[in-house]
């Protein structure tokens, strides 16, 4: 590791001076957690920024996913995607739910709605799609199927901060949507996450569940967990919110520069733009095809030896990990599009502070020069 190394992402942080008054308030008040002032203010600010009715803050998105499934009493089987970060499917196993993998659409890279109906059984209770790389899943088609079969929809929107579809935040779709504020995401509170819900009663239930099930000092209404976001994270989140639009603009500018540089390289394919989608520049994935000058893994190694750390998100597929691969729906024969994506994608460095010189270094190594 050296100063010259370039990682796939570098977390943005606000200037430390901005945070100092908040830290002094926390130190003076000693209200460190349990839904104190910064927590409440950050929930309101986020709901307003995202344009969604209700936000419940969490310590991280994985606990939020697990709690979302608890909240809607999801059981039996849930239809989901193998092309995601493992936490998506792990949240099902933590609830004793059977994940059923279906293949993805080659453009959205999220669940292919045409594959969902064939995977529905009498035990199916919900669909859990992912807005991969901040690109929208086919929310309309998925909702139609959910309505027809009486299924709930829980979206893993961990990549979706600041991305929009038809003018709405990606967090605005589904019965519940889960966001991640992990250090590697577009918007970070070091660790953190949230559930977006549609009505006050559901938010109330989520808020009980994330605090052990306490409804008041002496009343416990559910076997809840401790999923609360603390005051430090919430104060940081409020400060981060003031910068996030600039961060997203910077990411988009870098994506435009990469697009121009990579457009004419044989065998290197960028993701297709999607209708009515405003991207958040959260990742810069490219497909390395047969016609490229070397294999995807060889490009990954060439970048690495130049001190540039691309990531093969999402390789291996979730369905390849030992706790999933024995399931019938994890069989490779049923997941050819996901397999193809996992074997050909590499995510290149993109983050607000990636300098023009470093962007050029990435471009030069990809070009093979």
Ligand X SMILES: *Cc1c(COP(=O)(O)O)cnc(C)c1O
Q: Would you tell me which residues interact with ligand X (CB under 6 A)?
A: 60-62, 84-85, 87-88, 130, 156, 158-159, 180, 182, 193
Distances in Å between the alpha carbon of 26 and those of 20, 188, 234? 10, 20, 11
DSSP 167: T
Task: Say how many CA atoms lie within 13 Å of 53 toward its Cβ.
Answer: 13
Shortest distance, position 59 Cβ to ligand X, whole Å: 8
- Residue closer to ligand X by CB (options 56, 88) is 88
- Residue closer to ligand X by CB (options 84, 344) is 84
Q: Which helix (H) or strand (E) segment is 55 a member of? A: strand 54-58
Shortest distance, position 360 Cβ to ligand X, whole Å: 28
Q: Maximum Cα–Cα distance for the chain, whole Å?
A: 68
Contact 187, 162 (CB under 8 A): yes
At 197 the three-state DSSP class reads strand
- Residue closer to ligand X by CB (options 154, 365) is 154
- Residue closer to ligand X by CB (options 86, 141) is 86
Residue labelled with tokens 């994940």: 99
Shortest distance, position 17 Cβ to ligand X, whole Å: 27
Residue labelled with tokens 């893994």: 297
Shortest distance, position 37 Cβ to ligand X, whole Å: 23
Shortest distance, position 105 Cβ to ligand X, whole Å: 16
- Residue closer to ligand X by CB (options 268, 330) is 330
Nearest to 144 by CA among 113, 186, 189: 113
Beta bridge partner(s), residue 347? 285, 311
- Residue closer to ligand X by CB (options 19, 183) is 183
Beta bridge partner(s), residue 311? 347
Shortest distance, position 157 Cβ to ligand X, whole Å: 8
Gap between the Cα atoms of 25 and 33, Å rounded: 13
């Amino acid at each position: 590791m050296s100063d010259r190394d370039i990682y796939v992402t570098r977390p943005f942080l606000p200037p430390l001076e901005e945070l100092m008054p908040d830290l002094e308030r926390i130190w003076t008040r000693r209200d460190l957690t349990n839904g104190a002032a910064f927590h409440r203010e950050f929930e309101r600010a986020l709901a307003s920024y995202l344009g969604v009715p209700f936000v419940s803050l969490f310590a991280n998105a994985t606990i939020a996913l697990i709690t979302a499934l608890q909240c809607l009493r999801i059981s039996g089987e849930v239809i989901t995607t193998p092309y995601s970060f493992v936490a998506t499917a792990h949240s099902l196993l933590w609830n004793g739910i059977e994940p059923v993998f279906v293949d993805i659409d080659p453009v959205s890279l999220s669940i292919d709605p045409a594959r969902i109906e064939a995977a529905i059984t009498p035990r199916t209770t919900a669909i859990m799609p992912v807005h991969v790389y901040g690109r929208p899943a086919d929310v309309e088609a998925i909702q139609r199927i959910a309505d027809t079969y009486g299924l709930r929809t829980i979206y893993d929107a961990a990549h979706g901060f600041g991305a929009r579809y038809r003018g709405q935040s990606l967090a605005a779709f589904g019965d519940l949507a889960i966001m991640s504020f992990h250090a590697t995401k577009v918007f970070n509170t070091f660790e953190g996450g949230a559930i977006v819900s549609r009505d006050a009663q559901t938010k109330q239930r989520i808020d009980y569940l994330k605090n052990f099930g306490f409804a008041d000092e002496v009343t416990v209404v559910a076997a809840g967990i401790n999923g609360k976001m603390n005051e430090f994270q919430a104060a940081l989140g409020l400060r981060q919110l003031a910068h996030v639009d600039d961060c997203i603009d910077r990411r988009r500018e870098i994506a435009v520069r990469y697009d121009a540089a990579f457009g004419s390289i044989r065998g290197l394919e960028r993701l297709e733009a999607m209708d009515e989608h405003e991207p958040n520049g959260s990742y810069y994935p490219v497909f390395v095809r047969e016609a490229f000058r070397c294999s995807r893994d060889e490009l990954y190694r060439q970048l690495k030896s130049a001190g540039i750390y691309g990531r093969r998100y999402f390789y291996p597929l979730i369905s390849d990990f030992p706790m999933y691969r024995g399931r019938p729906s994890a069989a490779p024969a049923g997941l050819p599009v996901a397999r193809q994506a996992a074997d050909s994608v590499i995510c290149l460095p993109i983050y607000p502070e990636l300098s023009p010189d470093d962007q050029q270094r990435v471009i030069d190594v990809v070009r093979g020069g």
